Homo-oligomer: A and B are copies of this chain.
Amino acid sequence: MKRYSISVLGRAWGLSRSTLLYYDRIGLLPPSGRTPAGYRFYTDRDRKRLSQIDQFRQAGLTLRDIGAVLSSRGKPSSEILKKRMAETARAMLDLKNQQRLLARMLSGIGAGGCPPSVDKKMWVEMLRAAGMDDRALNAWHAEFERRAPAAHHEFLVSLGIPEAEVNQIRAWSAQPGLRSG
C-alpha cells in the first residue's frame, strides 16, 4: 500500500499543506493513519476521496455540503447539487448587475457628465409595459417607502423628479389610501 505524506498529497492537487490540515480538523479528510513519529500518512483511498472533494469544490459546494454528499449517496446529494445550481444562477444575475453598474460608473468618469439614463417618464412607461396599473404602482411605492425610505427618496430624485414632488409621492406612499380620499 502506497503512502503519501501530507505535502506530497496536497501538491498533487495543487492544494497547500494547511488546506489538508484543515480538512483533517473538520473531519472531511482524515488521514488513514500516523507514523510512529506522529506524521500523518495518506493512502490511495484518501487520494480518491480527495479527488472527489476536489470535483465538488470546483462545482462551488461548501465543504459542509461536500461532506454531506460524500457520506450519503443518492437522493440528498442531488438535492444539494440542485441547490448549488440555483445559487449559481442567482450569482450570475448579481454579477451581470455589477457589470452594468461598473460600466455606468466608468463611462460616467470618462465622459464627464453622463445623461440621466432613465427618467420618470421612461421608468413609468417601462412599468406600464410590464402590466402595472396605478394601484400596483402605488403599492410598489408604499413597499419601497416602508422598506427603505431614504433609498426611495434617492431613487425618485435620481429620476429627475423635483424635491417637492418627491416629498408628495413619499407622503402618499407612507399613508396608502390618503391619495384616493
Choose from B9, B13, B47, B98 the contact partner of A59 (Cβ within 8 Å): B98
A88 near B81: Cβ-Cβ < 8 Å: no
CB neighbours (8 Å) of A51 from chain B are 150-151, 154
Closest Cβ–Cβ distance, residue A54 to chain B (whole Å): 8
CB neighbours (8 Å) of A47 from chain B are 150
Q: How far is the CA of A110 from the CA of B85 in the complex (A)?
A: 15
Residue of B whose beta carbon sits closest to that of A149: B12
A: residues with CB less than 8 A from B are: 9, 11-14, 47, 51, 54-55, 58-60, 74, 77-78, 81-82, 84-85, 88-89, 91-92, 94-99, 101-103, 105-106, 109-110, 147-151, 154
